[in-house]
Amino acid sequence: MSSPEQEKSSPPPGGATSPYRRKAVLSFSVFGVFFIFYMGTAILQTPTFSKLAAVPWFGMPLGLLLSLLIFPVSWALIAIYFRLGR
């Protein structure tokens, strides 16, 4: 059995790794969202989906719009990461 002094000095289970785990989950979640958006946009640009990419959306083809949104989406995800990663 452990003494009461050792119980007070030892960190709670998962306490020492909790901030690292939270940041890892946040990092991989943000990466996953961007990866899905980026790959979806890239797949939409292939000849197989050319008709879908040519659908007009806000006055321009959907494929072009999604391609132009890659950088703003990445900036938004970076802002979310910095906001939640404190």
Give the tens place of pLDDT for each residue, 33-63: 999 999 999 999 999 999 999 999 999 999 9
Q: What phi and psi values does residue 28 have, to the nearest 5 degrees? A: -70, -30
Which residues have a Cβ under 8 Å from the Cβ of 57 and sit 6 or more positions away?
65
pTM of the model as a whole: 0.74
Other beta carbons within 10 angstroms of residue 48's beta carbon come to 10
Q: Please check the confidence at residue 6 and state whether its pLDDT lies above 60.
A: no
Q: Please check the confidence at residue 20 and state whether its pLDDT lies above 70.
A: yes
What is the structure's pLDDT at 54? 95
Distance CA 84, CA 74 (A): 15
Q: Please check the confidence at residue 19 and state whether its pLDDT lies above 60.
A: yes
What is the structure's pLDDT at 22? 87
Q: Please check the confidence at residue 85 and state whether its pLDDT lies above 60.
A: yes
